[in-house]
Amino acid sequence: MRKLWLGFAQVATILFAALYLVSLFRAEPPLPRGEVVTVKEEAALPVPVSAPGAAASYSGAAKKAMPAVVNIYTTKQVARRLSPEEELLRRFYGDQFNNRPEAAMSLGSGVIVSANGYVLTNNHVIEGADEIAVVVPGREPVGARVVGTDPETDLAVLKVQAEKLPTITFGNPDRLQVGDVVLAIGNPFGVGQTVTQGIVSATGRTRLGISTFENFIQTDAAINPGNSGGALVDTNGDLVGVNTAIFSKTEGSVGIGFAVPVSLAKQVMEQIIRQGRVERGWIGVQAQDIAPEAADSGRRGPVKGALIAGVMRGAPAEKAGLRRGDIVVAINGKPIADVTDLINLTAALKPGERGEFTVLREGREAKLTMEAGTRPRQPRP
């Protein structure tokens, strides 16, 4: 009897939540373009962690950041999986036994970056959603709409119709070091706003296959499903990263979590708010890493750079004279170690901006000037 009662209570709770979210969404005025949002940068004074002689506490940092971290609920229509019996009926009755889609609910977190309602979160939190609701701590849920997304960094910006919202303070990314204590704030498994504590395990993590442009902060602060899009803050309560992914075979935290650093998140967010999208430089090449043992007869030691495996016809690279077999070793004087560097430095060029590419061709160094085009929108990995 107890199991039946628990089952009934869970079903009733889900139905109530679904009905409540549906009632939230209503038509809203179109979003402005070209708006400039000023974010808070670094606290003037650090929040005290603990008094002399007292046990260490991060309550000050948590109290400062938690009001600006929101819960995000989404719904979308998905095809319902048929049971073996239903699949058999559909084979006999065909279209008469139609597999109608059903609403699927998911959850995540986000960070309020402006008092007038801009919220920063992960793209995968809201991707494909038909309806989005944002719950600000201490307030009623409100409907939200997507301002813009950037699948290549897995970031997105939402807008809610609200004023005088609490906002997060952006930290200084240059001060973050391995070993620093950090707090992850979000809504894991939908249990409600939660704070977990850990340290910065590593910085500059790449080649994880999470997104195209990777420069992740790694942390052992517990991050679980529902934490995505939430805040990673330092002991002053300042934002240092946006929690994005975990490494796990069980979908639970095993102490390896990844966050987009605040420096990259801010750049993406500002472009999305200003123009609704992110524009990056592009030259139109296929490239590959150079084998570590490869050496160039005209240089001492191994060659570092990106080997050009193909050049698109009519692309900026072809117009500038870049050829298959060339090795790009620097862009505007900044050295290229591998393909990741080539992609990142090329993307950092604004469309229409000219860059000087240093290449090795048949053992000789040459410099090519090319005007970057606009990088085509890429799907999320």
| Catalytic sites, residue numbers | 124, 154, 228
DSSP string, 275-295: HSS---EE--EEEEEPPTT-B
Structure tokens that stand for 3 in this block: 């199991």
Whether the Cβ atoms of residue 285 and residue 319 lie closer than 8 Å to each other: no
Spatial separation of the C-alpha atoms in residues 307 and 329, rounded to whole Å: 9
What is the CA 49 to chain-centroid distance, rounded? Answer: 29
Whether the Cβ atoms of residue 281 and residue 351 lie closer than 8 Å to each other: yes
Structure tokens that stand for 152 in this block: 């290549």
Is beta strand 40-41 parallel, antiparallel or unpaired with respect to 169-170? parallel
Give residue 176's region: left, alpha or beta (phi > 0; psi -120 to 50): beta
What are the beta bridge partners of residue 354?
371
SS3 (DSSP) at 147: strand
Whether the Cβ atoms of residue 234 and residue 240 lie closer than 8 Å to each other: yes
Structure tokens that stand for 55 in this block: 């046990």
- The torsion angles phi and psi of 67, rounded to 5 degrees, stand at -60, -20
Spatial separation of the C-alpha atoms in residues 323 and 306, rounded to whole Å: 12
| C-alpha closest to that of 211 among 261, 253, 171 | 261
Whether the Cβ atoms of residue 369 and residue 203 lie closer than 8 Å to each other: no
The sign of the torsion formed by the CA atoms of 184, 190, 193, 197 equals negative
The DSSP code for 361 is: E
Rg of the chain (C-alpha set) = 24
Cβ burial of 145 (10 Å; 0-12, 13-18, 19+) is middle
Spatial separation of the C-alpha atoms in residues 1 and 11, rounded to whole Å: 16
Structure tokens that stand for 369 in this block: 């000037």
